[in-house]
Amino acid sequence: MSYAYLFKYIIIGDTGVGKSCLLLQFTDKRFQPVHDLTIGVEFGARMITIDGRQIKLQIWDTAGQESFRSITRSYYRGAAGALLVYDITRRDTFNHLTTWLEDARQHSSSNMVIMLIGNKSDLEARREVKKEEGEAFAREHGLIFMETSAKTAANVEEAFINTAKEIYEKIQEGVFDINNEQFLSSYAVLIHPCNSLK
């Protein structure tokens, strides 16, 4: 299927915050409660439409463990968008956001759109991070913010699509030069054996 643009996303954040579940919910519309730890990088793709144009989202789900951080860094190259994820029931995952953000900004295009996601909003009773804290962090660092639940699918669609809309707007405004930016070209992709392309 042909498309006007290809946007590469990278999903980053601590282990166990639900990165793989968010990807699966967005690409396959299903929730898999027991998920093996991501080793290195997994991959998913989906077509969306913005402004009447077909856009292919190519999404790289990275491992949260420190030991894989150097592998993860190589995937920032050419990324148009990043989903920075924490778990609202685990304060430590929120506390580590600054480190992830510094990493992302150091290894990616300065124009990359970053969406901050507080995942597991269905576990309100176990919440350790207030929504207002997420909003404040996003404001301070110039990020878009949303709380999601990969389990119930709440805001998952919106998180991925709103990020794409922001990227699309930057293209229209000329912030991204579509002739030069790497993420608008095709990629030779390494497919994780557990995933099938849509």
User: pLDDT per position in the chain (198 positions), as tens?
Assistant: 789 999 999 999 999 999 999 999 999 999 987 666 665 567 899 999 999 999 999 999 877 666 556 666 777 888 999 999 999 999 999 999 999 999 999 988 889 999 999 999 999 999 999 999 999 999 999 999 999 999 999 999 999 999 999 999 999 998 876 555 444 443 333 333 333 333
Return the H-helix or E-strand segment holding 43: strand 41-50
Contact (Cβ atoms closer than 8 angstroms) between residue 64 and residue 19: yes
- Number of domains comprising the chain: 1
Taking the C-alpha atoms of residue 155 and residue 149, their distance in angstroms, rounded to an integer, is 7
In a domain, 189, yes or no: no
φ, ψ (nearest 5 deg) of residue 196: -115, 145
Q: Which domain holds residue 28?
A: 5-183
Q: How far is CA 112 from CA 17, 86, 164, in A?
A: 22, 19, 11
In a domain, 197, yes or no: no
Contact (Cβ atoms closer than 8 angstroms) between residue 120 and residue 151: yes
Looking up tokens 């990969």 gives 150
Query: Residue 126 maps to which CATH number?
Result: 3.40.50.300
Structure-token pair, residue 104 = 């992302």
In a domain, 149, yes or no: yes
pTM (two decimals): 0.86
What is the crossing angle of helices 156-172 and 19-28, to 10°? 80
In a domain, 188, yes or no: no
